[in-house]
Every structure is written in structure tokens, then in C-alpha cells.
Amino acid sequence: MTQRCKNVMLGTAGHVDHGKTALVKMLTGCNTDTLAEEQTRGLTIELGFAPCKMADDRIVGIVDVPGHVGFIRNMVAGAHGVDVLMLVIAADDGIMPQTREHLDILTLMGVTFGLVVMTKVDLVSEKRRMELGGQIRSFVKGTFLEGKAVCEVSNITGEGYDNFLTELNREVDATAERSTGGLYRQWVERSFHVKGFGTVASGIPCSGSVSVGDALCAWPSGKKVRVRGLEVYGQLCDTARAGECTAINLANTPPEDCTRGSLLSERKIATPEMFEASFRVLGSIAKPIKDHAEVRLHVGTIDVPVKIVPLSSGVMESNWRGYVQFRSAVKLPVIPGDRFVVRGQMGGIFTTLGGGVFLDRSNRKLRRNRPEVIEKLEQLSDAIEHPEYATNFAKRYLKYSDRMVTTDGLADMLQLTDNEIAGIIANLTQHGDAIVLGDSIAGADYFSQACETITHALEQFHAANPQLPGLDTAALLTQTALPKAIFAKCCEKLLADGKISEEAGKISHCEFNLSLPSDIAELYEQVLSVLKKSLCAPPRPDQLAEQLQSPQQKIDEVLELICSRSLAVRLADNVYMHKCGVDKAREVVLDLFRGQKFFETVEFRDAIGVSRKYAVPLLDYFDVTHWTVRNANRRRPGRLAREILENE
């Protein structure tokens, strides 16, 4: 291949029969009308591709699009890959309906470089040229073509060709190369079978690069395919990059698994049914677009029916700008930053209504005029325009997310390689914008809000239960409804900062002071003292009531308070044992296991010196708490006992 140093794509646009294909042939020597029907009718139907040699021998690609209104769907399929536009306007016809619609579409697809080519100048007078030149400059005012060259060319005589080529080279020089970062993605524009080779899928890659031997995922078939061979601009290559006209020979893949509208990607991409976008309505539409209107969404080389739901205020009328949610019956592999065009019925004519950029893939119905939703979409829209797009998008996405995101999920959303996503996460954590939680990541703001949720839950609990020391971990987790990973990390942070405390398995707020009602404070100390002295043979609650001459209800209330503070354990309905008694019984269990592999209930009873009414509830408690494992009337060491015995 000749010098290959700038991966940009030129594209033609304009009304039917204005000389687009002839201009491409003059530039490249290639006739992009390859179908028999195209040659018979003299009409471009499908997209055409050709390599073009620039002034310094660089090769760039050209995509030639059909101009007939009947093939506008094919035109939009080619528009997604264009970097530099050649808007073709015939001198004899002038500005026509498809001239306007094509310029609208290329503008919506984000093209910012280009020029105007006035063709067929050999058919008109000098006066007509000047008159049309003025009309063209007025027509492109306010668009990205304002101030760009208007080149007068004859595809028959060659008049003006040198000047046109000079201006075209100037635009290509000013255009930045297409980034080859990220994972490989290519929308299929054409696929066909070549005898002896198999299926060939061609298109313009959106991102990344691919090499012979690589494995790709095909959407929507879901099948894995292998790259057997590659051609770039018609020449064999080992590697193809984003922005280059690429044909991939796929091994063991029938053409029906990779038709136009399919996507070839380095990894499988999430496919939501609902996604949010910034949206601009064209100024040319005659009537407002209705809420929940059914329209055709064009992205890449596919178009599907969707419902468009406004999220911003106002009516989707001429020149409206805002945020929308698309609800599709087809799960689509779109990612933030992808551009799209919307077409639909307007005044009985199927036409282009507007377009924009995808921002998020919530995959859940969102309601209109929600400030938090609009703010998030505004931030994401701004991030997409930022030079450091991926890092800024990830930062803002996490900032406004109300959940954790897996590292793989973030990589999928941005279509980044493992090294690229690792670098972004390192940057975000280094600057305090995110917290890594195992294989997930959370925004710093979300993490702070989760911490506040925990402290607020404790404050509410203490206000309602001033006599209780706090909540155990499981109860607090249920109260906050936070994911386990973020809950654990928040508790760790709050404990380290001294904002919460943990004692005897209970978590409390740092500002909480335990208090007992005055009418039970003295009784509380009396009950606690009796239980502690009795150790493994405590009196029943009714015996406590008789001994301390207190109402049974008060005794029951005090016993529950003592247990809530982990100072005693309720072993059975009538057995409340002080933690010192439980600890002593646990030591007896360990001593028995030190001398034998198992013991029976009677052995434990005799070793601890209590009756069965205490021995049995104690052993049942040890079964539940993983100190023992019951097998009929025998006990073997449980997990916790084994850990201690093995470490001795």
C-alpha cells in the first residue's frame, strides 16, 4: 500500500444526478457504482467505496452515498463514517431537497470539515455560476460549511479540478486523525460471499484496530467469528484501524450472520432497550414531534423503530434542543458518544427530524423534568465534548450514579481495553473522585452519601431506642438497603474516622450516649449482678421477679435490655445467661475437644457441673453459633472451635 498515515474518510453528499459518483471517479479512477442495476440506471443505490491518493501520496478513503430520496436509508448508513464532506451541487439544478437533507444529516452526525463542489459548470453561464455561488454561501451560513471553499468543477472537461484538489487537501490536513484507542467496533455496511474465501463484511470501523487472527463478536447473531483476512482500501493488510475502509474475511461465517446493520466488536457489548441522548430537532420541520412518537432511529448502519420520549421541558418543535429517552423493541449495542439520526413522518412525508448523541444506557423508564436526571445528562453531554473524553465521562457518570458500577461494566460502556480502563480508574482514585470496591467502583459522592445513610439510620434508631446500644451489622444493612460491598467499605471508613463505634457486635453513632429510664436503672444493675454471680446456672425470670420483688413485666424488659447490649444471651424461653457464664461453657467445650474428637451431652453436663436444663440450651446455642456440630447425641468441633484448636 502507498503511504498510510492518516485514517480519515471523505464522503460525498448531495441530490441525485448532481455528479457525486463522477467526481469520485475523477478523484480515484474508480467507478463506485458496481451493481448492474446502478450501471444500467445511471443511479447510485448502494454505498460505494474507493481509495483516494492525496497530494503527499497519503491514501484516504471515500464513501459515495446515493442521492435519490428513495435510498436515503443507505445514505445515512454511510454518513456515520464521514470525516470530511464534499457537498456536491450541480450548477444547472442548484440547491435541491436532498442537498438540504444530506447536509442536515452530516451535521447531525458531527462532521465539522468539508467543502462545497459546484459540478457541471460546463453546462451553465458565468452569470449562473456567480448567482449559484451566492445562493450556496447563503445556504451554508450557520453550518460547519460556512466560510469553506466553493469549488467549481466540470467532471467532463476537468475544469477547476486542480483548485478543488488543493482545497480538499487543505481540509484533510486540518482534520484530526480518527482515534484508534478503545475496543474494535465496526458496523457492517455490506456483506457478501466470495467463492473460495467465504463471507466478507465491509465497513468503516468506529474505534480500535483489528488484526488477522483476532476473534470478534457479531451482533445480533451473538456468534464468535474469526478474522481470516483483511483488506484496507482494497489492499491486503495485517491490521485495520478506525476510520479506514475495511473488508474483513470471516472464517466459518455464513453471510446471513453478518448482514448490513450487524456490528462486529472486540468484545460483547451490553444491549439495552432504553437509552438517553441529547437531541436537536431540525429547524425545517413543520410540526412538533409528539411525545412517545414512533420514529426510525438510525445509528451506525442500522435503523430501527423506537419511541422518543422527551425528558427536558418544552415541546419538540422546530429547533428544540434537549434530552430524550429512546425506548426500542430491539436491544441495541449503542454506547455513549455514538451519534444518531431520527427520521419519521412529517406532513405525509418521511423525512429527517433531528439527531444527536447517546449519553447513557439506563435501561429503565425515566420521567420528564427530573432535575437530577437532567443535571446528569448535561454533565455527560459536556464530558463527551471534552478532549479527555473517557476520563471525564467516567468521572461524571460515577458522580451522578446512585449505584456501584463494575469495572467491566464501565469498560463496556466506554468500550475501552483493560489497560485503558485501569488507567482511568487509577486516575479517578488518585484524585479522590472514586472508590474501588473489589471488582466494582463507586463515585466519591455516592460513597459519601452512603456513609451519610448509615449515620442517619443510626441517629434515627438511637432517637427511637435510647436505652439500646445500637444495631447489629445485619440489621443496619437491612435498614440502609445499601449493597453489601459499599456498606462494608463505608462502615470501615466511618469506624476509622471515629464517626461510629462497634462494641459487642453492636454499631452505634459516635455521639450516642446510652441511657436507661430512671425507673429501671437500679433494677437493671440488680438483675445483671444476679446473672453474673450465677454464671452457668442462672435463675428463671419468674425466680428473679420473686427474688428482687419486682413485677414480672419489668424483669422481662430488663432482661431484653441486657441481651440487647450483648451482656447476656437468651438460650431458651426461661434461660438468660450472663456472657461470663457462656464464655466459661465455651472453654469447657474446647477442653473436651482437646482430649477427644467428640463428646456427648452427658459428658458436657458433668464437666460444667449443671443440670440438663442448662446444658442442652447451651449446646444448642453453640450449634447455632458454629462452635459445635451435632450428630445425634454427639458434638464434633464446629468451624470456630476448629480454627482455635488448629492454631494452638
Indicate whether 191 and 299 sit together in one domain: no
The whole-number pLDDT of residue 19 equals 79
The residue to which cell 482514585 is assigned:
429
Element (H, E) at 219: strand 215-219
Indicate whether 507 and 522 sit together in one domain: no
70-79, 291-300, 539-548, 629-638: the lowest-pLDDT one: 70-79
The whole-number pLDDT of residue 522 equals 85
Asked whether residue 545 is assigned to any structural domain, the reply reads yes
Asked whether residue 358 is assigned to any structural domain, the reply reads yes
The whole-number pLDDT of residue 3 equals 46
Asked whether residue 179 is assigned to any structural domain, the reply reads no
Indicate whether 71 and 155 sit together in one domain: yes
Q: Judge whether residue 479 has pLDDT over 70.
A: yes
Asked whether residue 606 is assigned to any structural domain, the reply reads yes
Indicate whether 589 and 610 sit together in one domain: yes
Note the pLDDT tens digit of each residue in 335-383. Answer: 999 999 999 988 778 889 999 999 999 999 999 999 999 999 999 999 9
Asked whether residue 567 is assigned to any structural domain, the reply reads yes
pLDDT, mean of residues 169-175: 88
Reported as a pLDDT band with limits 50, 70 and 90, residue 189 is confident
Indicate whether 440 and 538 sit together in one domain: no
User: Hey, what amino acid is at 39?
Assistant: Q
Higher pLDDT, 3 or 600: 600
Q: What is the mean pLDDT of the chain?
A: 87
Asked whether residue 3 is assigned to any structural domain, the reply reads no
Indicate whether 125 and 53 sit together in one domain: yes
**End position of a domain, from candidates 139, 174, 209:** 174
**End position of a domain, from candidates 464, 489, 515:** 515
The whole-number pLDDT of residue 72 equals 57
**End position of a domain, from candidates 497, 515, 533:** 515
| Total number of domains in the chain | 5
The answer to whether the beta carbons of residues 242 and 9 sit under 8 Å apart is: no
Higher pLDDT, 271 or 565: 271
Give the pairing of strands 246-251 and 198-203.
antiparallel
Q: Pull the grid cell for residue 163.
A: 483548485
The whole-number pLDDT of residue 172 equals 86
Question: What is the CATH number for 215?
Answer: 2.40.30.10
Reported as a pLDDT band with limits 50, 70 and 90, residue 210 is very high
The whole-number pLDDT of residue 211 equals 96
pTM greater than 0.95 = no
Reported as a pLDDT band with limits 50, 70 and 90, residue 514 is low
Indicate whether 340 and 434 sit together in one domain: no
The whole-number pLDDT of residue 561 equals 83
Domain that holds residue 390: 386-515
Indicate whether 101 and 215 sit together in one domain: no
Indicate whether 482 and 613 sit together in one domain: no
Share of the chain above pLDDT 90, in %: 57
Measured in whole angstroms, the distance separating CA 550 from the mean position of its chain's CA atoms is 63
Indicate whether 212 and 69 sit together in one domain: no
The whole-number pLDDT of residue 75 equals 62
Indicate whether 395 and 309 sit together in one domain: no
Q: Judge whether residue 424 has pLDDT over 70.
A: yes
- Angle (deg, nearest 10), helices 418-430 and 407-414: 110
Question: What is the CATH number for 463?
Answer: 1.10.10.10
The whole-number pLDDT of residue 389 equals 87
Indicate whether 415 and 464 sit together in one domain: yes
The answer to whether the beta carbons of residues 592 and 644 sit under 8 Å apart is: no
pLDDT, mean of residues 45-58: 51
Reported as a pLDDT band with limits 50, 70 and 90, residue 647 is confident
Asked whether residue 578 is assigned to any structural domain, the reply reads yes
Question: What is the CATH number for 97?
Answer: 3.40.50.300
Asked whether residue 96 is assigned to any structural domain, the reply reads yes
Q: Residue 572: which of 530, 541, 611, 546 has the closest Cα?
A: 541
Residues 6+ apart with CB under 8 A from 528: 562, 567, 568, 578
